Amino acid sequence: MTDTEYMELALEEAEKAAAEGEIPIGAVLVYRDLIIASGHNCKEKDQDPTAHAEILVIRKAARFLKTWRLTDACLYVTIEPCPMCAGALLNARISRLVYGSPNPQYGAIDSRFHLVSSSVLNHSIEVKSGVLQEECQSLLDDFFSHRRR
C-alpha cells in the first residue's frame, strides 16, 4: 500500500472519532508492511487526557509485538503530533512518521517544536508531512465549526 492509502485508513479512524464526539484524529501503525494497530482519539470516552490516537495505537502495537521497541514501524496520523505524542514516538523508537495536517498550536514535529529531529536525542524519526492534508484539515475544521454552533 502507499502512504496515501494508509492515510485514508487513518482518516476513517478520524471519522469514527468525530461520530463519537471526539476530536477527529485517527492513526494507523504499519510494521513491515502489515497494519498492526489502528485507532482514534478517545479522551472524552475514556476521560483520559493521554488517550490520543497516537498513544492508543502505540500501546496496541507494543502489545501485539510484545515489545516496546517499534523499530521498522511507521505511524500514519491525520494531524501533526503534539509534544506528548512526539515523545511517545521517540520512546517507542518508531522509524517513520507520516502525518496529514500541520498543528500550528501544538505541533511538535515541524510547527511549534522539532522534537523528533533534535540532535541531542539518541533517536530520530523520518518524517513525511502533508499526505491528504486538505482532507485531514477539512475534517478538523468541520468538527470545530459544528461544535461552535
Give me the catalytic one of 13, 22, 54, 80. 54
- State whether residue 116 is helix, strand or coil: helix
* Residue 78 neighbours by CB under 8 Å, 6+ apart: 7, 10, 11, 13, 14, 24, 25, 26, 27, 53, 99, 100, 101, 132, 136, 139, 140
Residue 11 DSSP SS3: helix
80 among known catalytic residues: no
3-state secondary structure of 115: helix
User: Of all helices (H) and strands (E), which one includes residue 118?
Assistant: none
Cite the active site residues: 54
